[in-house]
């Protein structure tokens, strides 16, 4: 049973290739025994120096070129280079440069003047003839209706 040790990689030997299509042709690559290569791989997979590497530590073959991994021995001839944080090695379209903006005018913005508005007039109506009294005040919010 293997699990890829690269940060953010979800490859796991327990995942069924039928449910997880990316697991179909996975080869489990052995961790290098050379100290220099081992520390370089740790840096590439974004693991700190305290991360414990054992003889069972594996990387999945998604992080390597197909032709650099020996599928019989599980040994890679190159460093891993495809990760989620570099878009799995696919080139990303460069961003377009923003349009050149005009320099702002150093003068202050014009002052805002408030205009006088006319008050809303309330039309007084006679009470409806449904058998209740309606008292209409100048303030339409506080209308009282009382029934008899």
The tens digit of pLDDT for each residue in 89-112 reads 777 677 777 776 666 767 777 777
**Which residues form the domain of 35?**
21-89
Express each pLDDT in 27-85 by its tens digit: 899 999 898 998 898 888 888 777 888 888 999 998 998 899 998 999 999 999 888 88
Question: Is 124 among the domain residues?
Answer: no
Specify burial of residue 101 (Cβ count, 10 A radius: 0-12, 13-18, 19+): exposed
Question: Is 142 among the domain residues?
Answer: no
DSSP label at 122?
P
Q: What does the radius of gyration of the chain's CA atoms come to, in whole angstroms?
A: 37
Question: Is the full-model pTM beyond 0.85?
Answer: no
Q: Please state, in angstroms and rounded to a whole number, the distance separating the CA atoms of residues 57 and 133.
A: 87
Q: SS3 of 69, please?
A: strand
Report which of 79, 3, 67, 87 is spatially closest to residue 41, judged by C-alpha positions: 79
Question: Is 131 among the domain residues?
Answer: no
Count of structural domains within the chain = 1
């Amino acid at each position: 049973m293997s699990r890829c040790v690269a940060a953010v990689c979800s490859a796991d030997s327990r995942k069924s290739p039928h449910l997880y299509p990316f697991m179909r042709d996975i080869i489990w690559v052995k961790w290098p025994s050379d100290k220099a290569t081992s520390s370089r791989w740790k840096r590439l997979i974004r693991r700190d120096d305290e991360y414990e590497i054992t003889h069972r530590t594996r990387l999945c073959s998604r992080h390597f070129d197909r032709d650099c991994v020996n599928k019989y021995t599980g040994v890679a001839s190159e460093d891993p280079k495809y990760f989620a944080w570099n878009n799995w090695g696919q080139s990303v379209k460069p961003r377009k440069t923003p349009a050149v903006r005009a320099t702002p005018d150093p003068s202050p913005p014009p002052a805002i003047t408030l205009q006088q508005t006319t008050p809303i007039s309330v039309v007084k109506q006679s009470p409806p003839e449904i058998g209740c009294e309606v008292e209409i005040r100048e303030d339409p919010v506080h209308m009282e209706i009382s029934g008899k």
